[in-house]
C-alpha cells in the first residue's frame, strides 16, 4: 500500500506514515527567537501565544522570551523552537520516538508539540545547534550520533 494515508477530518489532507521515508527526508527549521513556557492567567500573552495547552493545574502558554519579559512573566526554560519539516500523519508511528531518542542520546532535553502538519521540538536554547546536528544524523542513517 501507499505510505501516505488520509487522517483527520479536514477534507483529505494527507501526511507521511512511512518512518524510513520520513527519516530519509528529515530536516528542521529553527525559529529565530527564544521561547519559554508560562503558566497561569496572562491575558496579555494569550492572544500572541505560539501554543497553549490547558491542564487541570492551569493553562500553559508558549511565548517568546521577549513577550514574557515584557508582560512581567517569569522566564525559566529558554527554548529554541525547531519545526520538523516533514509532514507526518497524526497516526504515524515512530517519528517522535526517533527524534526524542536521538536527542536523548546526546543529552538534549526535548519538549514535543504536535501540529496537524508538523511536529515541533522545544530544546534548550544553548543546545539548538547540537539538536539540529543530532536530527541531521538521523537523516543520514547514523542512529548513534556522538554527544555534541
State the DSSP code for 47. G
Q: What's the CA gap between 119 and 106, in Å, rounded?
A: 20
Give the separation between CA 16 and CA 72, rounded to whole angstroms: 41
pLDDT, averaged in runs of 10, over the chain (148 residues) = 40 72 88 97 95 94 98 96 88 88 96 91 98 90 46
Please tell me the pTM assigned to this model.
0.83
Amino acid at each position: 500500500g501507499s505510505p501516505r494515508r488520509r487522517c483527520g477530518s479536514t477534507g483529505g489532507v494527507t501526511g507521511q506514515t512511512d518512518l524510513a521515508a520520513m527519516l530519509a527526508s528529515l530536516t528542521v527549521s529553527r525559529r529565530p527567537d527564544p521561547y519559554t513556557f508560562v503558566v497561569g492567567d496572562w491575558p496579555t500573552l494569550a492572544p500572541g501565544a505560539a501554543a497553549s495547552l490547558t491542564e487541570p493545574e492551569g493553562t500553559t502558554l508558549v511565548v517568546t522570551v521577549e513577550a514574557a519579559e515584557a508582560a512581567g512573566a517569569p522566564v525559566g526554560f529558554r527554548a529554541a523552537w525547531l519545526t520538523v519539516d516533514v509532514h507526518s500523519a497524526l497516526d504515524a508511528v515512530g517519528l517522535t520516538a526517533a527524534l526524542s531518542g536521538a536527542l536523548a542520546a546526546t543529552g538534549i532535553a526535548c519538549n514535543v508539540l504536535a501540529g496537524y502538519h508538523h511536529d515541533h521540538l522545544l530544546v534548550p536554547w544553548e543546545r539548538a545547534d547540537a539538536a539540529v546536528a543530532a536530527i541531521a544524523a538521523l537523516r543520514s542513517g547514523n542512529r548513534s550520533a556522538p554527544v555534541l
